Structure 1
Amino acid sequence: MKDQSHKRHLAKTVTWRLVGTIDTIVLAWIISGNPATGLKIGFAEVITKLFLYYFHERVWFKINLSKDGKVLESRKRHLAKTFTWRGIGTLDTILLAWIISGNPLTGLKIGFAEILTKMILYYLHERVWYKIDFGLSSRKRKK
């Protein structure tokens, strides 16, 4: 059977980007005090983060973190993915917010505010997708 994982990773990319963009727009608006700045930063991230997230998914799909032949428990794997993605995502946000606002401090504030909100949202996103079989021919799940 043809590998359907690309479809899954594309779907996860789109759903996560929707959640992430809304979060970024709201945080950037609150921190900058300017809704236009929030929208500019949020929409700039759509482009950069779609690519970054897709490649992050592909790398994690190929990583086999097994111990003694046992697959890493899903919650630990999701936590590890959460931290690696957040590092990449925060760096991207800081740079974009700095460039768009013209203020490095604004970029740092938005990036660091996102750390908590995005990690919670990303973990929940991973848990939801763990329950969905879309794009998988078969799998063995651990709870």
Structure 2
Amino acid sequence: MNHVHRRFQNPPSRSHDTVAEVIDRALADRRYEQAAIDALVGVALADVDRVFIEHCCLKMGSSTSAGAAFLGVSALCLGHAARRFGRLSAEAIQLAGALAARARHDPSDVSPNAVDGLGDITWHLRRYKNRWHHGRHRVSSW
């Protein structure tokens, strides 16, 4: 019996120009979808610019046809941003909710990653809100 040992590595964060270019290429041609997923995950996990991360997630999550792998990943990456920054724009939260609803209705339309992303958003924003109410942190927006 042969076992395949896979090793997971987080994709590296790339420059904003490179990420934007990769996303645009993938939106035009789904053959580049995995490169766009790697670029999005890389910035969601490591970039310091929450607004840029949200912009990329919103672009990928709202500009893509049904069944594209990066629909669910867009919501998942918004969950990463919520964990890292403790806040998201209303538009980002709304997109994650819509993608999660679609995933629950038809997982072939949007991957269940969207449900995980919405769960992360809900949990992390509630956690930061509770800290704010207790005077430990000041969170300016949800």
Question: Same fold by TM (over 0.5)?
Answer: no
TM-score of the superposition, structure 2-length normalised? Answer: 0.28
Higher Cα Rg: structure 1 or 2? Answer: 1
TM-score of the superposition, structure 1-length normalised? Answer: 0.28
Higher relative contact order (CA 8 A, sep 6+): 1
Structure with greater proportional helix content: 1
